[in-house]
């Protein structure tokens, strides 16, 4: 049987070569050697070959079904014949790897990194140079990358285009956003691949800062589902010193091809050997829950580079933010536009606008609330000079990140926070002036260290200054990582907004504790997001790493805004609580204003109780764009928390608590949609139920339209067992 299997595999590889060679009648047939590799469990099979034109290509099978049809690989170089063809295979090395490692923080305490690897060396005879294409097959997917050894004829080179293909086997359903170079802040669109071109124009909104690069270009992470129930996810891992990859779709042949974000003059990458590309990833399963459970993106990144990680801590925080997003208060101290150098404005000659959010008394109130409810930090935006000029669009608008407004006493507030067992979280809005930020970075981080800050939310709103670079190009990606590394010198954690979407670098640099890089809660104030948006984020945006989504809005209709113009939240209140579990992040913000929480302290109890770091995660129910139900075990405890959300359709979530320890009892507290709850008609209707449960307890929870539920499972004490009734 083993010999027969080997013969069949070789025949399949030969057919692959013949299929893509395009051999004309009568042409001499010269086949290159074909190679293959399987995943550790044998369910994934990769075939690799070089066709008669010397073009490298691969195909990927899952349980005998085609996931990626024969697809070409290669790079087009500037002023160079390129790395596209005329290759011969000169060496193939295979190996296996199996380790278990512990992340500094994460969805699970331990991660298994097991794969089979094939490294293929390709030689261009005429150019006399080599490249290596490295494949890793995991049980749940594949990674591939290009490697460029140091050699005489491939030293410095400029990438004109990368041509990594992903040929689809059918007109799959896709959940996508347009291929914008500067933002991911879009609602997702669900469509067939063949419909993307016609729908693309409607997906572009005025919030987009950059016209899409192609009428069929989409961003990664891209989630798809085939007609026969196979889930496919395309993304990248370990994006370092390279441009972010989008995907162009040839919608006639259903072939995706990598499209790198260009720089200001149109080049895609500046390389110096020895070097390598990021990994191109394919996650695949016939169970949607496996996509959420995949750790491929993290496993394809290097281990943590820091010896001491004791200073890196997950954080639950509140902040002076939502009231400014909604328009009730302002970032700027005054509406006057001084247009002078930072630190030289005489604020005694300006008129305070009376709505500045980052004032001493308001910040102290948030500190008190955080301390009273067990929160770690308080984010304060709009604390520093420069906002008047920026909002006024002065040609001189920049920030120095150390000069506070006159109503924000840095030393007093940090001392007050420390006395309450709370820290303040810094905010650095760069206004896109990246070189200015880099010039001030050491001084700004030292200022943080001197004043008790250990975490910063950085922002990159607007077009890049001064070179006109894009947010997702190689130049900016190098800056984002530079900021994270520099922050580590001062033991500071970074939460970068408007930066490139993550690719698992938090494994290597775990002080990169959060990113935005998607359409977050702020858009609920601007007009809302689609009800299915948060059911897709775990399948798309969160594949690369956690998101600072800023959930927890209890005033769904934003009534606290009075007559001021605003949007409304497109969920129920119960769904807002569930997001603390379904949208994983070690950096979770209870983002509503204090007054709104004080009206619903019974529901707020779940946000107080829920953890931000986990020993285990179970993905109980999942269907992209429809629903997600996730259970997580709090770090170092036996307590579990469950969150379930749905789209615009009401549903009933059914699951068993079999992930609990079988010999223990737990106090279950369920925060669910009320019987009359509806995200449009009655979004704040909720109900709370409590009872004793075990691992055998079956749960059935009704979710309203765009609703959800949150469930805490706390190990029962002897007193609990007497006082709390059995769950019914």
Catalytic residues: 522
- Compute CA distances 212 → 202, 218, 443, whole Å: 12, 9, 37
719 touches 619 (CB < 8 A)? no
**Whole-angstrom Cα distance, residue 378 to residue 454?**
12
- Using N-to-C axis directions, what is the helix angle for 434-450 and 474-489, rounded to 10°? 20
Other beta carbons within 10 Å of 15? 14
**Whole-angstrom Cα distance, residue 668 to residue 666?**
6
Task: Enter the tokens of residue 500.
Answer: 């490139």
Tell how far CA 111 is from the center of its chain: 18
Q: Taking the CA of residue 709 as centre, how many other CA atoms within 13 Å lie in the half-sphere pointing to its CB?
A: 28
Q: Do you know the residue count of the chain?
A: 728
Closest among 36, 12, 71, 506 to 282, alpha carbons compared: 71
Other beta carbons within 10 Å of 602? 10
Q: Is 266 exposed, middle or buried (0-12, 13-18, 19+ CB in 10 A)?
A: exposed
Other beta carbons within 10 Å of 1? 5
Q: To which H or E segment does residue 632 belong?
A: strand 627-634
N-terminal to C-terminal alpha carbon distance within the chain: 55
Q: Is 22 exposed, middle or buried (0-12, 13-18, 19+ CB in 10 A)?
A: exposed
Give me the phi and psi of 441, to 5 degrees please: -60, -50
Which residue is it, tokens 């009648």? Answer: 25
351 touches 334 (CB < 8 A)? yes
In sign, the C-alpha dihedral spanning 208, 213, 219, 222 is positive
In sign, the C-alpha dihedral spanning 444, 446, 449, 452 is negative
Task: Enter the tokens of residue 81.
Answer: 């014949």
| Strand blocks (E) in 314-451 | 315-320, 377-380, 423-429
Task: Round the CA-based radius of gyration of the chain to a whole number and report it.
Answer: 27
Beta bridge partners of 121: 91, 132
**Whole-angstrom Cα distance, residue 29 to residue 359?**
78
Closest among 170, 118, 122, 109 to 144, alpha carbons compared: 118
Alpha-carbon dihedral angle through residues 485, 489, 494, 500, given to the nearest 10 degrees: -10
Alpha-carbon dihedral angle through residues 499, 504, 506, 509, given to the nearest 10 degrees: -100
**Whole-angstrom Cα distance, residue 256 to residue 234?**
10
Tell how far CA 614 is from the center of its chain: 18
Strand order in the sheet with 44-50: 35-38, 44-50, 56-62, 65-72, 165-168, 255-260, 245-250, 217-219
User: DSSP assignment, residue 51?
Assistant: -
């Amino acid at each position: 049987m083993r010999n027969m299997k080997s013969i069949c595999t070789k025949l399949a590889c030969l057919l692959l070569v013949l299929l893509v060679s395009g051999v004309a009648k009568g042409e001499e047939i010269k086949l290159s050697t074909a190679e293959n590799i399987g995943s550790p469990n044998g369910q994934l099979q990769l075939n690799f070959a070089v066709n008669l034109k010397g073009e490298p290509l691969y195909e990927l099978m899952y349980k005998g079904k085609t996931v990626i049809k024969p697809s070409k690989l290669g790079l087009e170089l500037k002023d160079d014949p390129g790395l596209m063809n005329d290759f011969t295979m000169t060496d193939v090395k295979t190996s296996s790897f199996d380790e278990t490692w512990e992340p500094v923080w994460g969805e699970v305490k331990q991660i298994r990194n097991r794969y089979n690897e094939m490294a293929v060396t390709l030689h261009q005879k005429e150019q006399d140079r080599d490249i290596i294409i490295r494949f890793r097959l995991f049980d749940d997917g594949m990674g591939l990358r290009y490697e460029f050894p140091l050699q005489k004829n491939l030293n410095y080179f400029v990438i004109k285009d990368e041509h990594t293909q992903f040929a689809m086997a059918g007109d799959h359903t896709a959940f996508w956003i347009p291929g914008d170079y500067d933002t991911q802040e879009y609602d997702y669109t669900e469509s067939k691949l063949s419909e993307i071109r016609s729908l693309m124009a409607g997906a572009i909104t005025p919030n987009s800062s950059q016209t899409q690069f192609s009428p069929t270009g989409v961003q990664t992470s891209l989630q798809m589902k085939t007609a026969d129930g196979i889930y496919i996810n395309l993304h990248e891992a370990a994006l370092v010193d390279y441009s972010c990859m989008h995907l162009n779709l040839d919608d006639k042949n259903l072939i995706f091809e990598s499209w790198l974000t260009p720089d200001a003059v149109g080049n895609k990458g500046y390389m110096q050997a020895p070097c390598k590309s990021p990994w191109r990833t394919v996650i695949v399963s016939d169970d949607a829950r496996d996509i959420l459970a995949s750790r491929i993106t993290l496993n394809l990144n290097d281990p943590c580079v820091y010896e001491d990680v004791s200073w890196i801590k997950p954080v639950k925080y509140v902040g002076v933010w939502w009231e400014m997003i909604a328009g009730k208060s302002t970032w700027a101290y005054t509406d006057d536009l001084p247009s002078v150098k930072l630190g030289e404005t005489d604020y005694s000659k300006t008129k305070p606008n009376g709505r500045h959010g980052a004032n001493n008394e308001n910040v102290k109130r948030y500190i008190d609330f955080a301390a009273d409810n067990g929160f770690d930090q308080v984010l304060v935006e709009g604390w520093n000079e420069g906002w008047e000029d920026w909002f006024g669009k002065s040609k001189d608008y920049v920030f120095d990140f150390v000069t506070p407004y006159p109503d924000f006493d840095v030393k007093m507030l940090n001392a007050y926070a420390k006395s309450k067992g709370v820290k303040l979280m810094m905010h650095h809005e760069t206004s896109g002036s990246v070189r200015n930020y880099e010039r001030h970075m050491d001084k700004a981080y030292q200022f943080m260290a001197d004043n008790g800050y250990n975490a910063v939310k950085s922002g990159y709103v607007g077009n890049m200054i001064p070179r006109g670079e894009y947010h997702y190009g190689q130049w900016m990606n190098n800056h984002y990582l530079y900021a994270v590394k520099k922050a580590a010198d001062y033991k500071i954690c970074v939460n970068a907004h408007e930066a490139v979407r993550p690719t698992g670098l938090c494994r290597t640099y775990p002080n990169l504790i959060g990113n935005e890089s998607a359409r977050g809660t702020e858009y609920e104030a601007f007009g809302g997001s689609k009800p299915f948006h948060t059911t897709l984020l775990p399948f798309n945006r969160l594949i690369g790493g956690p998101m600072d989504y800023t959930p927890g809005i209890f005033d769904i209709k934003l009534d606290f805004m009075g007559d001021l113009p605003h949007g409304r939240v497109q969920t129920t209140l119960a769904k807002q609580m569930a997001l603390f579990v379904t949208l994983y992040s070690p950096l979770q913000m209870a983002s509503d204003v204090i007054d709104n929480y004080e009206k619903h302290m019974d529901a707020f109890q779940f946000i107080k109780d829920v953890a931000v770091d986990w020993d285990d995660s179970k993905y109980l129910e999942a269907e992209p764009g429809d629903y997600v139900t996730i259970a997580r075990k709090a770090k170092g405890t036996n307590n579990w928390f469950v969150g379930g959300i749905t789209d615009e359709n009401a549903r009933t979530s059914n699951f068993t608590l079999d992930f609990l320890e079988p010999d223990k009892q737990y106090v279950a507290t369920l925060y669910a949609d009320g019987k009359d709850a509806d995200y449009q008609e009655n979004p704040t209707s909720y109900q709370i139920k409590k009872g004793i449960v075990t691992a055998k307890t079956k749960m059935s929870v009704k979710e309203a339209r765009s609703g959800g539920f949150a469930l805490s499972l706390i190990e029962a004490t002897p007193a609990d067992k007497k006082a709390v009734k059995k769950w019914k």
